[in-house]
Amino acid sequence: MSMTPEQAAWFRDTFTRLVDNVDQALMGKRDVVGLVLAAMLAEGHVLLEDAPGTGKTSLAKALAASVQGTSTRIQFTPDLLPSDVTGVTIYDQQNHKFEFHRGPVFASIVLADEINRASPKTQSALLEVMEESRVTVDGTPHEVGRPFLVIATQNPIEQAGTYKLPEAQLDRFMIKTSIGYPSLAVAERILAGNVERNPSANLQPIITTKAVADMADLAASVHVDPAVARYAAQLVEATRESASTKLGVSVRGAISMMRIARVVAASQGRHYVIPDDVKSLAAAVWTHRLVLDPEAEFSGTTADSVIERALADVEAPLARATA
């Protein structure tokens, strides 16, 4: 059953209230907050490539506070073990049985700080629970619950001693974006105000985690016209056929686009997806999935330019206003 216009209006209002609430802790970054919130409601995960001190932890805590959820932060280091992320089974001598002790991944929002500093084995432990939404220890599955959002970060500098995420693992993130430094005007507001160590501590919750799960289910019912789906498929095909790429957008990448485009449409009060939704999300959803040809990359070609070329070459269909 497709979303109704009334449900779309409620979704838009609730989405806006959530963004407004988070904006109190992360001022001047409404576009990024909206994008990360859309990924959460599309039940995907986020990769942030950003410099230190731009508010990544504040974003995770503010989102969790806004939805009455929990947040954890895992500092990825070379000596971090998979069990440090997922949890471990320990024998209880009093009860004479093994008990599972949950790891920090059991939270509504998990900040995986500098994920590329951990070993590939530990990275895989996190990426597995991202895909399955559960942890299996000693043959017993443990659900992480809903909502479940992983915000993984990479530092674009100081690459010594890091383990680059393979392309297959990058493909598991729904979007890749960055927060960036605040504008001069926003920086003045931040410095002129009372600078708190934890700006999300005073935020009031807007909705419950149960309502977040309901919003995710509702967003999945947003109508996608076959012409819009065909347009997205043609864009994906264009990235694969480009002479500048060795590997284009995957099927998972195409599906991720449709999932988050539904959320973005609903966040704007529409119960249907239009081509502009796909266009606005193309860079965030697809650039990190491309593998460029070495010669093209050496000559200055970027993933962004490949996406821009695909958007220019593929003709968008006329927007459909009804389901």
The two tokens of residue 304 are 């962004």
Confidence band of 195 (pLDDT split at 50, 70, 90): low
| 226-284 pLDDT, tens digit each | 999 999 999 999 999 999 999 999 999 999 999 999 999 999 999 999 999 999 999 99
With a cut of 80, say whether residue 73 has pLDDT above it.
yes
pLDDT in tens, 81-121: 999 999 988 888 888 888 889 999 999 999 999 888 888 88
- Lowest mean pLDDT, pick from 11-15, 193-197, 301-305: 193-197
Distance of CA 178 to the CA centre of its chain: 11
Report phi then psi at 221, rounded to 5. -95, 5
CA distance 286 to 229: 16
pLDDT of residue 159: 62
Give Cβ neighbours of residue 57 (< 8 Å, ≥ 6 apart): 73, 111, 113
The larger pLDDT score, comparing residue 21 to residue 186, is at 21
The Cα 242–Cα 24 span in angstroms is: 43
For residue 59, give the nearest of 123, 188, 150 by alpha carbon: 150
Model pTM score: 0.91
pLDDT tens figures, 137-171: 888 889 999 999 999 998 776 666 577 788 878 89
Show the CA angle centred on residue 271, arms to residues 265 and 276, nearest 5°.
Answer: 35
State the pLDDT at residue 120.
87
> What is the average pLDDT across 203-226?
94
Number of other CB atoms surrounding residue 51 within 10 Å: 13
pLDDT of 192:
79
Q: Which helix (H) or strand (E) holds 74?
A: strand 71-75
Which pLDDT score is estimated for 320? 56
Whether 323 shows a pLDDT value over 60: the answer reads no
Distances (CA, A) of 300 to 244, 295, 297, 303: 10, 9, 5, 10
Mean pLDDT value of segment 54-76: 91
Residues 6 or more apart from 213 whose CB is under 8 A from it? 146, 147
Angle, alpha carbons 44-2-258 (nearest 5°): 30
Q: 65 pLDDT exceeds 80?
A: yes
Instruction: State what percent of residues in the chain have pLDDT above 70.
Output: 95
Single out the residue of 273, 281, 289, 282 nearest to residue 310, CA to CA.
282
Residue 195: closest CA among 73, 36, 41, 55: 55
Give ∠ CA 194-200-202 in degrees, rounded to 5: 75
